[in-house]
């Protein structure tokens, strides 16, 4: 009988850290939720201690509620195919964390004060718009 070799634990990728958000981040999440609540075809669902945001059934962001991802003061947003201009702006924005979820197209946004609410809304809006676009399907090969 042969056994499958498993990766040593030290080489395995660990799941993303789920942390309890700060009281400020929970308050900022509530403010962001109030701002986006009127967006068309928007749904909220609870997921892993966060409030996930969907447009037409497509998840595009998650706001910390009981848990957050990676840091105690960040939210996450998803952009499936960011344009070159968006990618460059994300690289230039020190609040945007591009180092996690790269294959899944998830990005973090680090909040440090209420001044960051407008930046968070901007990225949430862009993720919302991206979630509304239909994916380009590859043409079948002949």
**Is 35 a member of any domain?**
yes
pLDDT category at 142 given cuts 50, 70, 90 is low
Cα 97 to Cα 16: distance, rounded to the nearest angstrom: 13
Query: What is the rounded CA–CA span in Å between residue 101 and residue 34?
Result: 26
Using CA atoms, how far residue 55 sits from 46, 52, 106, 107, 119, in Å, is 15, 10, 16, 17, 20
- Whether residue 45 lies inside any domain: the answer is yes
Domain region containing 34 = 28-54+67-78
pLDDT(105) > 90: no
Q: How far is CA 68 from CA 28, 30, 47, 86, in A?
A: 13, 14, 10, 24
Q: What is the pTM assigned to this prediction?
A: 0.79
pLDDT at 122: 96
In a domain, 18, yes or no: no
What pLDDT was estimated at residue 129?
94
Lowest-pLDDT choice from 8-12, 23-27, 48-52, 54-58: 8-12
Are 19 and 68 spatial neighbours (Cβ–Cβ below 8 Å)? yes
Are the C-beta atoms of residues 21 and 71 closer than 8 Å to each other?
Answer: no
In a domain, 43, yes or no: yes
CB-CB contact of 62 with 49 (8 Å): no
């Amino acid at each position: 009988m042969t056994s499958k070799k498993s990766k040593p634990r030290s080489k395995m990728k660990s799941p993303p850290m789920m942390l309890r958000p700060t009281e400020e981040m929970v308050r900022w999440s509530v403010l962001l939720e109030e701002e986006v609540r009127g967006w068309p075809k928007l749904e909220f669902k609870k997921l892993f201690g966060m409030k996930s945001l969907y447009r037409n059934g497509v998840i595009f962001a998650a706001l910390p509620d009981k848990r957050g991802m990676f840091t105690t003061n960040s939210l996450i947003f998803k952009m499936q195919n960011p344009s070159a201009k968006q990618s460059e702006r994300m690289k230039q924005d020190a609040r945007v964390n591009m180092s996690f979820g790269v294959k899944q197209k998830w990005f973090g946004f680090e909040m440090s004060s209420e001044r960051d609410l407008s930046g968070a809304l901007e990225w949430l809006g862009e993720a919302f718009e991206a979630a509304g676009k239909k994916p380009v399907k590859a043409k079948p090969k002949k």
